[in-house]
Structure 1
């Protein structure tokens, strides 16, 4: 069973459209911030990886917008690693209202690709990253 990471989100006015509903692109921001915080929590230092000529980029996203999130709501993003390969891994992420995991608002499967910073071509995941991802998946 995968180890999940939970990151809280608060919906601010700037996140919403004129009707007080979260604008669709902001769900991607919530997921990105949750992944960044998760990596920090795991000790994966993306700045250090950049100095070693490796960066992560989104290669593909499948996203389902199920129910709207609204102004001032407290939400949570839950992230798990579902697959790890040589140069990429897939995170499954779900967004819920805080304390209501039964009602998914949005979910995404996000493929993250390890890239050589100079050429932006795929490269193997650094060994310490691969080990950490295997530990939590």
Structure 2
């Protein structure tokens, strides 16, 4: 698999504030869901990574830029792409779109950690899938 993973998403009432606009923190939830679904398309899930390889993802850094608000009942798409891999760090770029209009961009730095929460390199099986996806 290469390129971009896209996850469709509808905005529900629970995602919005009193004005019907998506509450800012919910974009991070949308991005997290998209990363989880992206991982599944690679043949992995969070419990399986922990059980099989003894590792789990943690978010080290997250930078969100809010461009345009989404509203109640909007049909959104969250795209996820691998930006680069550096040792124990995996950098992802995510964007929340309404049609082709960018609403929010999220740059995420993930770190894989072991059960003692010590940083570790991605297992070879995961790394071999991620490296070809990384942008040049």
Task: Pick the TM interval, shorter chain.
Answer: over 0.9
* Counterpart mapping for 1:6-85 below 5 A: 6-51=6-51, 52-85=53-86
Length-normalised TM-score, structure 2 = 0.93
Gaps of at least 5 residues in structure 2 are none
Q: Distance in 2 between matches of 1:122 and 1:136?
A: 22
Taking only aligned residues, the RMSD between alpha carbons, in angstroms, comes to 1.1
Note the alpha carbon deviations across 1:84-119, whole angstroms, 9 max, x for none.
12211011000111xx22x210001000100012x2
Length-normalised TM-score, structure 1 = 0.92
Gaps of at least 5 residues in structure 1 are none
Runs of 4+ in 1 over 4 A off after TM superposition: none
Aligned length, in residue pairs: 132
Q: Greater CA deviation, 17-26 or 119-128?
A: 119-128
Note the alpha carbon deviations across 1:42-101, whole angstroms, 9 max, x for none.
11232121113211010001110111000000000111100012211011000111xx22
Q: Distance in 2 between matches of 1:26 and 1:66?
A: 14
